[in-house]
Structure 1
């Protein structure tokens, strides 16, 4: 984000933000994010105008800091998730098999993070409220895992009919090779 793009807020003018190097600070902190979405959230941070909002955010931040002190709450995502989610919503361009595998990985990571939050000792009530809002996508993840391999290609055993067709293809191909071998 360029410093010129930093918007003034009722509590912090653009001139004050630049004098405090606030946009530069956000840029440096954003480098610690695990994904492009995390970086965008950091870059979008603005000072709080109300004490209650600040208190809620600080409580969640302190809980997350405690959990991250043990190990990262979510893994690094080298693939841009923002683009992937945009394509999921718009359907343009259509998602490929590898995209579905990445989405399943994202859901699994989210689920693991939510589980850590629920099992935290001492509890993390602010983060737990957020984790409870996550939809249950386990049936979708199971379907993706059952249908696609890690490369995003349809698994041999994705369905009984597909497995039978692939056995038939192998058998026919082997028979063609045997027949060709007899001519050579």
Structure 2
């Protein structure tokens, strides 16, 4: 399972120094900094970094911060933020520490839970459509057709046809996808 960038940052920070030996204020500050990795280390020229490059940048930033903080016994929040600002500034001064960029945005890696939700969403929509929406449409136009037996129930037939067509289309799409 792939880790998020803040998890990569914290793991790399722990490799560089003793995270457990830090006081609670310093731990909290480092954890807050890990959550802003994406915004602090965006591509300087508007391009994108690959997922692997983003992880490498997070690791490098963590190692640099742990190296700076290991030389200070007790660092205050302001000192940590100043050092972090220096690291981020160096990143932009050196055009991303020499990491390559790409023109296209990298595909997001989905977690197992996100994959399950994306797989179930079409089934839930089809069930909702068949059980609620189409029932209401067919009941309404069925009652209208019963109230006016002289008129042809065109909308009732269209509702039934739409219901069958949408279920058929869903089944064909899932069959074609190989599910």
TM-score class, shorter-chain normalisation, is under 0.3
Normalised by the size of structure 1, how large is the TM-score? Answer: 0.23
| Largest Rg, 1 or 2 | 2
Normalised by the size of structure 2, how large is the TM-score? Answer: 0.24
